[in-house]
Amino acid sequence: MPEIPVHATLPWLYLASQSPRRRQLLDQLGVNHRLLLPDDGEDAEALEAERAGESPEDYVQRVTFAKWEAACARLVRRRAEAGHDWAEAPILCADTTVALGDQILAKPMDDADAARMLSLLSGRTHRVLTAVVVHGQLRLSTSHVTWRTLDDDEIRRYVASGEPMGKAGAYAIQGRSGAWTQHINGSYSGIMGLPLFETAELLKPLGWVF
């Protein structure tokens, strides 16, 4: 059974994401939410497969909308099976990718892949793209991040920490890599995984007040 929102009389939504950072950012906005995670038989990773010739902007928007559609179908199934446990409510999905030019740097497959990505980002400016979908409406946040040059030992230690795994571009801005960041042009919360401005703009028409 899903957890019950603390303030059940206030607007609330389903968050279709396992990211603790997105939960943290929704809490920061004061948005009441409960999780709507994939069923055991769902292959959520398959939705993230890249398509030939697809730009990073098109990729992240397509993937996010596909995840939102999958979450909508998931809620319909659960309501059919145990409707009293799964009330109707808006669903929020978000996805983040890192891009260096037209190259998409998704989640690393292993330590070697993480080290490769970090080496590519070293001393350069890259884009962090986060798309958000609520109630069928999508917003895209684009931020530019500049890193100082990293040496091989720094990359090795960071990979060994385990932090790069499961992160687009093999890093978390709120983690150790924050010490490498010389400049950000854009949304810090978007780089974390949920741009607060765009999210608030999507939620206002649904009854939220910020």
Catalytic residue numbers read 95
Alpha-carbon span 60 to 189, nearest angstrom: 16
Angle at 179 between CA 171 and CA 193, to 5 degrees: 40
Asked if 107 and 166 touch (Cβ cutoff 8 Å), the reply is yes
Helices (H) and strands (E) in the chain, counts: 6, 7
Cβ neighbours of residue 202 under 8 Å, at least 6 residues apart? 92, 132, 134, 135, 137, 139
The stretches of the chain forming alpha helices (DSSP H) are 20-29, 56-82, 111-121, 152-160, 188-192, 196-203
Q: At what angle do helices 152-160 and 111-121 cross, to 10 degrees?
A: 140
Structure tokens at 118: 């970090």
State the maximum Cα–Cα separation within the chain, in Å, rounded to a whole number.
55
Question: Which sign, positive or negative, has the C-alpha torsion 153, 157, 159, 163?
Answer: negative
